[in-house]
């Protein structure tokens, strides 16, 4: 069945259906909906993006996929349960529990997905030995991609809309007009396309955090904490316009969770930043302590001698040669002179003696020197 969506101030009207195609399989009716397709597309693009940037966050791509796949499964479970628990017609789901599985009909709570994905991801990071803060940084960018695209499923379902507005982009449609999504607005008048607001907010957040992760990534967990703050602030404002929100008593659940997300994000940001700033000092102090122990007064001489010399072995050449003494009237050579003076062969020493016309005073001549004199 075709439906319509209209933007009266712009003069736009679209004939559109939430369902792409319907088919029968093994005696059961199935349908492919825009809602499910767009969520799958958002997830796919998020994974592709994460794979391309995994190594920049020091994450092994294979281990990342393991974490993502498990977290994605629990994200869908959490998003669905979140909606079922807080929607107005939750009694219908308890009467027919199988309907909980019909996610293609719509009805997912993004906060439930984030919470379940966070818990599952944390456990999987522990199992697969992946740095959790870095993984959540990368996942946050993927979340924004998925949310930006997935929100357009609400457009086709004509849900997640706001109160009446006379702004040029105010929209309406036959499902909106039927009032099945709740009250709080006047029929036959345009409403805020809050799905569009959130989609654009997520797109802007992705662009900003993507640039930040490239240019000013200071510590692990930075992007995730900023994501919580960014999305929480935006969702709180947008939720104030919506008329089909999930309620817990008289309170909008999404606004309550948004406040918690912002507070948690601020706490994480400063806690992780302080931890990251303390690491270099701790490492430096540890290395300094180790160096003091190795080079202290109690250090064994052989330990120091076993260390490689900066002169690449020149220290051995600079050791005194007791069998060679300076000629009469000559100043003793400085043993700290250039290495080439201390590494002269006996033949070179004979050559210099012949040129100077003086015989060096030797008590015990080396064998090589005697052979040279005989020749």
Whether residue 232 is contained in a domain is answered as yes
β 3-7/28-33 pair status: unpaired
Range of the domain at 229: 35-176+188-282
Whether residue 334 is contained in a domain is answered as no
Whether residue 322 is contained in a domain is answered as no
User: Is 0.75 surpassed by the pTM of this model?
Assistant: no
CA atoms within 13 Å, Cβ hemisphere of 299 = 15
For 10, the token pair is: 């712009």
For 35, the token pair is: 């809602």
For 129, the token pair is: 């030995």
Whether residue 86 is contained in a domain is answered as yes
Whether residue 313 is contained in a domain is answered as no
pLDDT 10s per residue in the chain (375 long)? 678 899 999 999 989 888 888 888 777 777 888 888 999 999 999 999 999 999 999 999 999 999 999 999 999 899 989 888 877 777 888 888 888 887 666 678 888 888 999 999 999 999 999 999 999 999 999 999 999 999 999 899 888 888 899 999 999 998 888 765 555 567 778 999 999 999 999 999 999 999 999 999 999 999 999 999 999 999 999 999 988 777 777 778 889 999 999 999 999 999 999 999 887 655 434 433 333 333 334 334 444 443 444 444 444 444 455 555 555 555 555 544 444 454 455 455 454 444 444 444 444 444 544 444 444
Q: Give me the number of domains the chain comprises.
A: 1
Whether residue 239 is contained in a domain is answered as yes
Whether residue 27 is contained in a domain is answered as no
Q: From the centroid of its chain, how far is CA 354?
A: 74
Whether residue 41 is contained in a domain is answered as yes
Give the span between the Cα atoms of 155 and 345, in whole angstroms. 90
């Amino acid at each position: 069945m075709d439906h319509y969506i209209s933007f009266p101030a712009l003069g736009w009207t679209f004939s559109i259906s939430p369902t792409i195609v319907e088919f029968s399989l093994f005696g059961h009716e199935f349908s492919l909906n825009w809602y499910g397709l767009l969520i799958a597309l958002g997830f796919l693009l998020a994974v592709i993006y994460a794979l391309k940037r995994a190594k920049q966050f020091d994450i092994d791509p294979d281990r990342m996929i393991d974490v993502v796949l498990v977290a994605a499964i629990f994200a869908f479970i959490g998003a669905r349960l979140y909606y079922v628990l807080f929607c107005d017609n939750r009694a219908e789901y308890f009467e027919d529990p199988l309907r909980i599985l019909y996610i293609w009909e719509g009805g997912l709570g993004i906060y439930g997905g984030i919470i379940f994905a966070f818990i599952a991801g944390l456990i999987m990071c522990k199992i697969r030995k992946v740095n959790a803060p870095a993984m959540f940084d990368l996942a946050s960018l993927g979340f924004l991609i998925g949310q930006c695209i997935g929100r357009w499923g609400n457009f086709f379902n004509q849900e997640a809309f706001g109160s009446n507005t006379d702004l040029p982009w105010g929209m309406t449609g036959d499902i909106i007009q039927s009032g099945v999504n709740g009250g709080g607005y006047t029929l036959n008048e345009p409403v805020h396309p809050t799905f569009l607001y959130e989609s654009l907010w997520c797109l802007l957040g992705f662009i900003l955090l993507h640039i930040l992760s490239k240019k000013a990534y200071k510590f692990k967990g930075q992007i995730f904490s900023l994501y919580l703050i960014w999305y929480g602030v935006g969702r709180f404002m947008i939720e104030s316009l919506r008329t089909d929100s999930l309620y817990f008593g008289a309170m909008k659940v999404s606004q309550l969770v948004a406040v918690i997300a912002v507070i948690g994000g601020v706490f994480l940001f400063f806690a992780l930043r302080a931890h990251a700033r303390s690491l270099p000092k701790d490492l430096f102090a540890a290395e300094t302590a180790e160096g003091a122990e190795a080079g202290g007064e109690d250090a064994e001489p052989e330990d120091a001698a076993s260390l490689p010399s900066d002169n690449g072995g020149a220290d051995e050449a600079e050791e005194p040669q007791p069998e060679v003494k300076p000629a009469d009237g000559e100043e003793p050579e400085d043993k700290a002179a250039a290495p080439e003076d201390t590494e002269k062969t006996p033949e070179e020493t004979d050559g210099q003696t012949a040129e100077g016309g003086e015989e060096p005073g030797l008590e015990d001549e080396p064998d090589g020197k005697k052979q040279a004199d005989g020749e």
